[in-house]
Amino acid sequence: MRLSSTEENYLKAIYKIAEREKKSASTNTIAKYIGTAPASVTDMLKRLAGKQLINYEKYKGVTLTTYGGREATQLIRRHRLWEVFLASKLRFSWEAVHDIAEELEHVKSEELVNRLDAFLDYPKFDPHGDPIPNAQGKFTLRNQMSLLDAHPGNKVVLLGVREHETSFLQYLNGLNISLGTEFTIKAFNHFDKSMNILIDHTRETLLSEKVCQILLVKKI
Amino acid sequence: MRLSSTEENYLKAIYKIAEREKKSASTNTIAKYIGTAPASVTDMLKRLAGKQLINYEKYKGVTLTTYGGREATQLIRRHRLWEVFLASKLRFSWEAVHDIAEELEHVKSEELVNRLDAFLDYPKFDPHGDPIPNAQGKFTLRNQMSLLDAHPGNKVVLLGVREHETSFLQYLNGLNISLGTEFTIKAFNHFDKSMNILIDHTRETLLSEKVCQILLVKKI
DNA sequence: ATTTAAAGTTAGTCTAATCTAAAAATACCT
DNA sequence: AGGTATTTTTAGATTAGACTAACTTTAAAT
């Protein structure tokens, strides 16, 4: 079935909310995520349910059907592949790629996305470190943890970020932190859960709990 | 001002019709070009006139304003740059690029199109030989003529095609004709204006008047 | 167990873009 | 010039996607 861009966006929202909260998505949560009024969400949920894309029961919340999940995964695949294209081929910085990919992801052509995938050499992760589903919808799993869970003395490398907001990514740019940057944990400050970190074996910085929580790393 | 994809498509249609027929575009012509009912065109013309994109006077026909022309040119720029990307980077054949570029051209980002332009090395012509306007909207002009105007004995090279329909381009593929192919005109048949042509100095073929009219060449 | 608050749904309206049917304007033909 | 054909516009409806305001259901709190 042919989906509109709007329908696709709702599916993606439901997918992401379910992933984040590990339960069915509520009307209000979807409304906040998409940026519409709850009443508009109710309307759309009825239409999506009619197309067998979601399981919807009034006043309960919604989950994706197998079919709806497949559509959402393919949309995420397109989004992340375009992000890789924008960053690695057109040299956009990681904070700029999201908004443009939001538009590119809705271009409908199976052939296009598969050729793009090949052109980019089948990347497994996007510029924020998020995994890119392959043509079969399979994500690559990876051992990673929040920087918050590392301990003094640990050496780790940055694999991804849980937050894509421009201002946050620019904050990291200012600290010269990007994917692949190495950290040595110097100290953990119990009173506010901040950390003293040595970046790239050269600069010592203080990172707040909030920032540490966002950074995804693995030990080296 | 922010234009919808539909509005952009109307501007492009008006631009192309004016170019083809060298006069203002009529409601019916636009309707046929876009594939909608004439009544829908009238509605849209009113909206476009309200936005200062076209000069519209009831029952007369329309022309683009300077502003509307600039928008149309930028749309054509985006379309043709994406066609080059699809053909030269993703290895799509020339008959496949048009439909996908129809969607990609509506992605709104000045930065995107300019970076794409640079990535492709500022191409001057698309995969069908049509000129690509630069960031200032300027087209590259080129000496070219219809194959119909060549004479027996002339040697020419194919620079472009005036017709983009899939079936026609596939017909050329079947004859092993592509941009850059060289022709020697062997004979001109007055009774039906067909031509006997030697392709790439190896294969002799008969090309109908209609086909010759479409092929754009220059002497070598 | 009521009351109150929060979340979700219904009803009615709006805009963009389309349609069909009918009316009006223009063009064409002898 | 008058009549017919063609083109264009108007009028009224439709669909997707959104809104606000009002109502209903569920959850939370005393």
Annotate B171-208 with DSSP letters as a single string.
HHHHTT--TT-EEEEEEEETTTTEEEEEETTTEEEEE-
**Best mutation site among A85, A91, A106, A107 for testing chain B: the one with the most B CBs within 10 Å?**
A107
Residue A110 lies in a domain: yes
Q: Does B166 touch chain A (CB under 8 A)?
A: no
Q: Domain span at residue A185?
A: 145-219
Contact A111 B96 (CB under 8 A): yes
* Same-domain pairing of A151 and A189: yes
Residue B139 lies in a domain: no
> Is A1's pLDDT higher than 90?
no
pLDDT digits (tens, 9 = 90+) for B187-220: 999 999 999 999 999 999 999 999 999 999 999 9
* Same-domain pairing of A136 and A199: no
Alpha helices in A51-161 (DSSP H): 66-84, 97-104, 110-119
Beta carbons of B195 and B185 less than 8 angstroms apart: yes
pLDDT digits (tens, 9 = 90+) for B115-133: 999 999 999 999 999 999 9
Note the pTM of the prediction, 2 decimals: 0.94
* Same-domain pairing of A149 and A209: yes
Contact A115 B92 (CB under 8 A): yes
Question: What is the token pair recorded at A172?
Answer: 């990291």
* Same-domain pairing of A50 and A24: yes
Q: Which residue is nearest to nucleotide C7 (CA to C1')?
A: A28
Computed over every residue of chain B, the mean pLDDT equals 96
Residue B214 lies in a domain: yes
* DSSP helix/strand/coil, A155: strand
> Is B1's pLDDT higher than 90?
no
Domain termination site, one of A16, A35, A64: A64
Q: How far apart are CA A135 and CA A112, in angstroms?
A: 12
Q: Does B86 touch chain A (CB under 8 A)?
A: yes
Q: How far apart are CA A152 and CA A132, in angstroms?
A: 32
Q: What are phi and psi of A32, to 5 degrees?
A: -65, -45
Contact B107 A103 (CB under 8 A): yes
Domain termination site, one of B64, B89, B111: B64
**B44 CB closer than 7 A to any strand C atom:** yes
The pLDDT value recorded for residue A183 is 96
In this prediction, what percent of chain B has a pLDDT beyond 70? 100
CB atoms within 10 A of CB A66: 7
* Same-domain pairing of A23 and A85: no
The CATH code of the domain that includes B202 is 2.30.30.90
pLDDT digits (tens, 9 = 90+) for B155-181: 999 999 999 999 999 999 999 999 999
The residue in chain A having the minimum alpha-carbon distance to the alpha carbon of residue B88 is A119
CA distances B134 to A172, A203, B122, B186, Å, are 35, 44, 8, 38
Q: Residue A46: which nucleotide is closest by CA–C1'? A: C9
The pLDDT value recorded for residue A71 is 96
Pick the closest to residue B10 from B1, A5, B42, B22 (CA basis): B42
How do beta strands A54-57 and A203-207 pair?
A: unpaired
DSSP track, B8-52: HHHHHHHHHHHHHHSSPBPHHHHHHHHTS-HHHHHHHHHHHHHTT
Give the pLDDT band (50/70/90) at residue B29: very high
> Is A82's pLDDT higher than 90?
yes
Contact B115 A92 (CB under 8 A): yes
Positive or negative: CA dihedral B21, B22, B26, B31: positive
How many domains in chain B? Answer: 2
For B43 and C11, how far is CA from C1' in angstroms?
Answer: 29
The pLDDT value recorded for residue B209 is 95
Residue A69 lies in a domain: no
Residue A28 lies in a domain: yes
* Same-domain pairing of A51 and A96: no
Q: How far apart are CA B185 and CA B161, in angstroms?
A: 18
Residue B166 lies in a domain: yes
The pLDDT value recorded for residue B107 is 96
Domain termination site, one of B25, B44, B64: B64
> Is A42's pLDDT higher than 90?
yes
CB atoms within 10 A of CB A198: 15
Average pLDDT over every residue of B18-27: 92
Supply the angle between the helices A110-119 and A66-84 in degrees, to the nearest 10: 40
Q: How far apart are CA B82 and CA B103, in angstroms?
A: 10
Q: How far apart are CA B83 and CA B101, in angstroms?
A: 6
* Same-domain pairing of A155 and A200: yes
Q: How far apart are CA B124 and CA B176, in angstroms?
A: 24
Q: How far apart are CA A7 and CA A68, in angstroms?
A: 10
Residue where the block lists tokens 């399979």: A138
Question: What is the token pair recorded at B208?
Answer: 């109908």
Distance of alpha carbon B114 from its chain centroid, rounded?
A: 21
Give the pLDDT band (50/70/90) at residue A163: very high
Choose the closest CB to A91 out of B89, B90, B115. Answer: B115
DSSP label of B3: P
The pLDDT value recorded for residue A196 is 96
* Same-domain pairing of A10 and A60: yes
For residues B142-156, b (16+ Cβ closer than 10 Å) or e, as one string?
A: eebeebbebeeeeeb
Question: What is the token pair recorded at A54?
Answer: 């979601």
The residue in chain A having the minimum alpha-carbon distance to the alpha carbon of residue B97 is A112
> Is B44's pLDDT higher than 90?
yes
How distant is the Cα of A179 from the closest Cα of chain B, in angstroms?
23
Q: What are phi and psi of B175, to 5 degrees?
A: -90, 5
**B48 CB closer than 7 A to any strand D atom:** no
How distant is the Cα of A107 from the closest Cα of chain B, in angstroms?
6
Residue A71 lies in a domain: no
Strand intervals (E) in chain A: 54-57, 61-64, 145-146, 155-161, 182-189, 194-199, 203-207, 215-219
HSE-up of residue A36 (Cα within 13 Å, Cβ side): 15
Give the pLDDT band (50/70/90) at residue B47: very high
* Same-domain pairing of A156 and A110: no
> Is B22's pLDDT higher than 90?
no
Average pLDDT over every residue of B87-111: 97
Residue B30 lies in a domain: yes
Chain A residues with beta carbon closer than 8 angstroms to that of B111: 92, 96
The CATH code of the domain that includes B29 is 1.10.10.10
